[in-house]
Amino acid sequence: MTAHALMFVDKPTFYRFIETADEQHRYEFVRGWIMQQQAGGTFKHARLGKAFVEALSRALDRDTWVVLGSDRGIDTGETVRHADAVVEQLGAADNSLSTEAPVLIVEVLSQSSEERDLSAKPVDYLSLTSLEAYIVASQDEPLCYVWLKGADRTFKSEPSTVKGRDQVIQVRALGIAISLGDIYRGICA
């Protein structure tokens, strides 16, 4: 998904803009710029995003957590981005267009977003004190790049690589294990 800078604005102007913007595009706020991105993606991309939302929804207590897809913005202070799946506590800013307190974020890689998902977005996302895990999933094989907050409450600078259908991603802070076999079932050979 190619991104195009539209205009330089402050964040309140960005939020007013996206409330009335067309639905054929997704817009992100990146350090003062409104960035237009193509909405949607490949069939595999959509299926993987949905698989993560469904798996996380099944694994987490619905009285405590809410799992949403790409409609929910993530406000890092300098950016407002959209991920393929985001987990936050239920009741947190129900009327807002974005969350400032995601606990888990999932991005599905696309050729055009790989650099952003693996280089730029970790810088933004890992700065959030609420975040416990950031997962970037490949469309081509059962492979995820995973940043998990450690016992010292910090993230390593490089992600762990979790590869293979028999592997799981343990998010101990949430008490869940995400099976790559379940996520990639019927999607990748």
Q: How far is CA 145 from CA 37, 122, 159, 164, 187, in A?
A: 23, 11, 6, 12, 18
pLDDT, tens digit only, all 189 positions of the chain: 445 667 889 999 998 888 887 777 788 899 988 888 766 678 999 999 999 999 999 999 999 999 999 888 999 999 999 999 999 998 765 678 899 999 999 999 987 778 888 988 999 999 999 999 999 999 999 999 999 999 999 999 899 999 999 999 999 999 999 999 999 999 976
The structural domains of the chain, with segments of one domain joined by +, span: 1-39, 42-183
Please give the model's pTM, rounded to 2 decimal places.
0.91
CA atoms within 13 Å, Cβ hemisphere of 121: 27
DSSP state of 85: E
Structure tokens at 161: 């690589």
Rounded distance between C-alpha atoms, residue 90 and residue 107, angstroms: 21
CATH superfamily, domain at 42-183: tt1808, chain A (3.90.1570.10)
